[in-house]
Amino acid sequence: MNLIIFSFIKELFTMALELTDANFKEEILDYEGITVVDFWALWCGPCKMIGPIIQEIGEKYDEVKVGKLDVDHNPDTAIEYGIRSIPTVLFLKNGEVVDKHVGTAPKSLFFEKVEALLNS
């Protein structure tokens, strides 16, 4: 049963880049452009609620790099960015955090934040 749930959850997040402590600098901090990073965990109910929204951002905006970082398996990056509650979504431009959202929210909020970055 747990394997089925894990497979379903993993499939939900296949569009977003899987981030780790090892690849975060290369994939996010060194990236020239806009990135959206979702800090999440498998057991987190609210994370499952915004997961499809984050994936949709990746599908809609080719110019935005979208990634997900599992805080249980990658604690160093979560600690470095002061992630104390999940889900936390960071919005970065050229490797610098320019906006942050903690918790769930309507889809429109996430899309508005991305649109604002694209137009800045």
Residue 56 is predicted with a pLDDT of 96
Average pLDDT of 90-119? 97
**How far is Cα 90 from Cα 66, in angstroms, rounded to an integer?**
10
Q: What is the pTM of this model?
A: 0.86
Residue 85 main-chain phi, psi, to 5 deg: -135, 145
**How far is Cα 41 from Cα 30, in angstroms, rounded to an integer?**
24
pLDDT tens digits along 24-58? 999 999 999 999 999 999 999 999 999 999 999 99
pLDDT tens digits along 83-92? 999 999 999 9
Strand blocks (E) in the chain: 17-19, 34-40, 64-70, 88-93, 96-102
Residue 13 is predicted with a pLDDT of 46
Average pLDDT, the chain: 91
Domain ranges of the chain: 2-118
**How far is Cα 109 from Cα 112, in angstroms, rounded to an integer?**
5
**8 or 64: which leads in pLDDT:** 64
Instruction: Report the catalytic residues.
Output: 44, 47
Whether the pLDDT of residue 19 is over 90: the answer is yes
Whether the CB-CB separation of 61 and 87 falls below 8 Å is answered with: no
Average pLDDT of 49-69? 96
Topology of the domain comprising 2-118: Glutaredoxin (3.40.30)
Bridge partners of residue 90, in order along the sequence = 37, 100
